[in-house]
Chains A and B, each alone.
Chain A
Amino acid sequence: MYVLTQEVVAKLQRLPPGLDPAISRLDVSVQPDQNGEDILSFRVVLKGDLPETASADFGERLMRIASALRARAAQLEVPMFALVTFVHESEVRPRTSKTA
C-alpha cells in the first residue's frame, strides 16, 4: 500500500508555476475509487467569475490545470490515478449565520 507522506502532500499542494491565477486553494487527499482502490484526489477551489454554462473552452482551461497536477503527481512518482475535481470558493466557504 502506498503511503502519501506529508512531504509529498506538501509538494502536491504547491501549485505548478504558471497555472491559472484563479485557483484559490488546492486540497489533496487519498480516497477509495469505485473498486475500493486508492486514488489521489485533487480538489481545486476556484475563485473569481466563472461561466454559468458548460463549454469546451471552459473545459480546456480546467484540463490544463488537471494535466499540470497529474504531471506533478507522476513526477513525484505517486503510483495512483489522480482525480481532479473543481469547485468555486463560494460553494465551499462555510456559511455564517446572520442573527439579529
Chain B
Amino acid sequence: MTLAGDLLTQSAMLAAQDPRRPKQASLRRSVSTAYYSLFHLLVDDAASMLVGGSRLKAAVARSFEHAAMRVAATKVATAARRPGGNPQFEAHLRLPVSAGLQQVCDLFVELQELRHRADYDLGVKFTRVEALAAVSQAERAHRLWPRERNSHNGKAFVLASAKLLGSRG
C-alpha cells in the first residue's frame, strides 16, 4: 500500500472511532489525514511524472507547496466552470476540462481548507458526518485521479502545481 492509501485508510478509521461519542481529536485528525492522503497521492504522481523513479523523486516531491497546489487547483476548476476568465492560464489547457478533473481540483481546495480548520481553528466543532464526508470525498478523489493523471489537463494541473507553467501564454 502507498503512503496515500495508508493515510486514506487511517482517516476512515479515525472518523469511525468512538461510535457513541467521537472525540474532537479523532475527528480533526481524520479530516486532516483525508487531506494529506490526497496531497500525497497527487505529489507522488507528480514527482513520478517529472523525474520517473530516479533518486531525485523524493527531493522533487518535497518541493511541492500546499499553497501553489491550491492556486493551480483553483485555476483548473475555475476554467472548467467558467471558461474564458483566465485566458493566459487556459492557453495551457484543452477545454473543456473534464468533470472528473474539476472534482479532484475542487476537492483538493476544499479538503485543504477543512484541514486548516481542523488543525488550527479550535472555535469550530467537527461532527462525525463532517469527518465521514471529508473522508468519503477523499476516497472519491482517489478513484477519480487515476483516470485523469495521464490526460493533457491532468498533466497541466501537475505542472502548474509545481509552478512550472508560467502565467504567460
Contacts and interface: CB of A to CB of B under 8 A. Distances in A.
| Genuine A/B complex | yes
Interface of A: 33-34, 39, 46, 50-60, 62-63, 66-67, 70-71, 74, 81, 83-88, 91-92
Contact of A81 (B19, B74, B116, B133): B74
Given A33-B113, A74-B81, A87 B139 contact: no
Q: Is the interface of B mostly helix, strand, loop or mixed?
A: helix
Interface string B47-88: 000000000000000000000000000100000011000000
Contact of B133 (A67, A71, A85, A92): A85
Contacts of B142: 56
Contacts of A53: 12, 15-16, 132
Interface string B124-147: 000111101101111111110000
Interface of B: 11-12, 15-16, 19, 74, 81-82, 99, 102-103, 106-107, 109-110, 112-114, 116-117, 120, 127-130, 132-133, 135-143
**Nearest 4 pairs between A and B by C-beta?**
A59-B140, A59-B136, A54-B135, A34-B116
Q: Is the interface of A mostly helix, strand, loop or mixed?
A: mixed
